[in-house]
Amino acid sequence: MKNAGIPISAVTAYDYQMSSYISQTDIDFMLVGDSLGMVVMGHKTTIPVRLSEIVHHTKAVSKAEPSAAIVSDMPFLTYGIDTKQTIKNAAKLIRAGANAVKVEGGQKIINHIRVMIDNGIPVMGHLGMQPQSVLKERGFKLAGRRESEAKKILEDALMLEELGVCAIVLECIPESLGSQVSNSLKIPTIGIGAGRMTDGQILVVNDLLGMTEFEKSKPKFVKHFAQVGNDIRIALESYSNAVKSKNYPSKQQVYLPDKHFTQNKTITTVSKATELYQTDVYTRKNIKIGFVPTMGALHQGHLSLIERAKAECDVVVASIFVNPKQFGPNEDFASYPREVNSDIDKLERAGCDIVFIPEKNYIYPNDDYTELRIEGPLTESLCGKSRPGHFNGVATIVAKLFNIVKPQRAYFGLKDYQQYLIIKKLVSDLFMDIKIIGCPTFREPDGLAMSSRNLNLSNTGRKNATVINQTLQLGAAKIKDGETETIRIEQLMEESLRSVSDLSIDYACAVDSETLIRHSKLKSSVLLAIAAKIDGIRLIDNLIVEH
């Protein structure tokens, strides 16, 4: 790199995590420096650092299997006394994962460096300010300012090169000396406070990250490339405040029993999207959410949708919301049955995981609001004709609920067949990635389609209501008998309905089951549909007849 003029970047590293971060960069080598005595252990100098401590941190740094080379410092008095001991100590660092060792000093440790290199241990030199000499020097001082001192550093550098060291760290020397030494050597120089001309630079990683709190002033050569210390202080303070104000842990950070997979589950009730997203379901990935929107006053028909969703999805979310926007001015919004508490129990028993019960003001916060409008034949007949604006209200609430619940699948009853077709159209037109599933109509034993509104029927009305399904069966039988004229079927159905007093017919139609268009001749798949009021309660039912 020196020959190619590419500067060498190096940092200290003391642990596995930092080593992993460094490995994600193109930093060329890491130094498990005896600076850890100060940075990690809180000593005032590097003097107290033991070989076992550098071994310990070298192991941690090498655990990240970094692509950058690892150089480990030989601490104070672990070299320079007895060459045998030097070799043994250096070997411990190499065995711990170091690729090379670094020693401070020149002439005086020449034998020790030689014996290591002769025995195959790569050595990095360290000249200029030598932190391990801090006692002798009475403090950390700039080195090489005097000419004699500078001359000695240069001589030592040349001697180290001659011995075969792989590189030399130059610490806290004038820039001119850093330049002179670097130009005089073939091996690279790595500067720390040695100016701009050295072949590489090294910094203590905590210094460059802005984590170190310097006792006096920050050394001139240190530059903060981040303010991690500040971030840590802020994070710790926020954490402590959150604990003391009981905002941590919140719902998001607690383990809930895995409701879907345990028998004794309890349903979660939420009233806002934010609460919904705090449930464990919404923090898990790749969960298939099945959604059943309802207006409450639940019966077995609704619960059959929950059961189907449960069989096909990981999690079932139901909603209960009596949507004012789908009721006309003279319709039964006020008297629509509301039984939220028993609904929650029923949903829980059916295996529903979450029920979303929003307030009206949450769904429609103010008078200005966005409404979806459904146009075309699908809305022009049947309930679309007799309840103007109804399906716009339905489409609007369903789109809102879909956006909140974010299901993969949504379940609708075929009892509201026109609604089912319109919702299918809605998701297709708006490119919503939701599969709409139509579920068969659930009936009372006498054939009456289950409906929340049945609760509002008088006893007589309830008995009379069976005529609706009987009429559909009659129409179906006639078609199967070969009748092809729409008008005949419709007349037959009207006649049948009129057999009951106190019943007013809204419609009794035979239309194409796909388009809901009425043709004078029956198509091969016919939807027989009835809407009638009994006791002033509007009931609907339908039957598809293939012939």
What dihedral do alpha carbons 348, 350, 354, 359 form, nearest 10°?
-80
x/- map, 364-403, ligand AMP, by CB under 6 A: ----------------------------------------
Residue 441 makes contact with ligand AMP by CB under 6 A: yes
Tokens 């170091």 sit at which residue? 98
Residue whose CB is less far from ligand AMP, 472 or 489: 472
Q: Which residues pair with 410 in a beta bridge?
A: 291, 436
Residue 547 CB, nearest distance to ligand AMP (Å)?
24
Q: Which is nearer to ligand AMP, 46 or 452 (CB)?
A: 452
Rule CB under 6 A: say whether 542 interacts with ligand AMP. no
Residues 402-431 that bind ligand AMP (CB under 6 A): 412-413, 415-416
At 365, list the tokens: 């916060």
Q: Are 454 and 447 in contact (CB under 8 A)?
A: no
Selected from 38, 432, 450, 522, the binder of ligand AMP by CB under 6 A is 450
**Alpha helix (H) ranges present in 6-49?**
16-23, 36-39
How many CB atoms are located within 10 Å of the residue 8 CB? 19
Contact indicator for 17, 228 with CB cutoff of 8 Å: no
Q: Which of 294, 319, 392, 496 binds ligand AMP (CB under 6 A)?
A: 294
Stretch that binds ligand AMP, among 155-163, 301-309, 358-366, 499-507 (CB under 6 A): 301-309
- For the bound state, the minimum distance from the C-beta of residue 297 to ligand AMP, rounded and expressed in Å, comes to 7
Q: Considering 57, 112, 126, 302, which one is annotated as catalytic?
A: 302
Nearer to ligand AMP, 132 or 542 (CB): 542
Burial grade of 182 (CB within 10 A; 0-12, 13-18, 19 or more): buried
Q: Does 468 bind ligand AMP (CB under 6 A)?
A: no
Of the candidate residues 130, 304, 469, 486, the single one contacting ligand AMP (CB under 6 A): 304
Number of H helices, E strands in the chain: 22, 17
In 3D, which of 93, 85, 106, 79 has the Cα closest to residue 31?
93
Applying CB under 6 A, among 10, 103, 363, 449 the residue interacting with ligand AMP is 449
Q: Is 301 in the site for ligand AMP (CB under 6 A)?
A: yes
Question: What CA–CA distance (Å, rounded) separates 403 from 128?
Answer: 66
Q: Based on CB atoms, which residue is closest to ligand AMP, 76 or 327?
A: 327
Nearest distance from C-beta of residue 263 to ligand AMP, angstroms? 26
302 carries an active-site annotation:
yes
Q: How far is residue 74's CA from residue 395's CA, in Å, rounded to a whole number? A: 74
| Cβ distance to ligand AMP smaller for residue 99 or 451 | 451
- 281 and 353 in contact (C-beta within 8 Å)? yes
# residues contacting ligand AMP (CB under 6 A): 17
Task: Measure the CA–CA gap between 357 and 322, rounded to whole angstroms.
Answer: 10
Of the two residues 86 and 381, which places its CB atom closer to ligand AMP in the complex? 381
| Residue 201 binds ligand AMP (CB under 6 A) | no
DSSP class per residue in 254-318: SPPP-GGG-SS---EEESSHHHHHHSHHHHSSS--EEEEEE-SS--HHHHHHHHHHHHH-SEEEE
Name, in order, each residue with C-beta under 8 angstroms of 467's C-beta and a sequence gap of 6 or more. Answer: 496, 497, 499, 500, 503
Closest Cα to residue 383, out of 535, 538, 531, 545? Answer: 531
Least Å distance between CB 269 and ligand AMP? Answer: 17
Instruction: Give 96 or 295: the residue with its C-beta nearer to ligand AMP.
Output: 295
Give the binding range for ligand AMP (CB under 6 A) out of 28-36, 102-110, 368-376, 437-445: 437-445
We find the least distance from the C-beta atom of residue 293 to ligand AMP, in angstroms, to be: 6
Selected range binding ligand AMP among 5-13, 35-43, 116-124, 297-305, rule: CB under 6 A: 297-305
Cβ of 200: how many Cβ atoms within 10 Å? 21
Which of 319, 379, 392, 451 contacts ligand AMP by CB under 6 A? 451
Question: In this structure, how many other beta carbons lie within 10 angstroms of the beta carbon of residue 477?
Answer: 12
Q: Which of 180, 201, 392, 452 binds ligand AMP (CB under 6 A)?
A: 452
- Which residues form the interface with ligand AMP (CB under 6 A)? 294-295, 301-302, 304-305, 412-413, 415-416, 439, 441-442, 449-452
Looking at the annotation, which residues are catalytic?
302
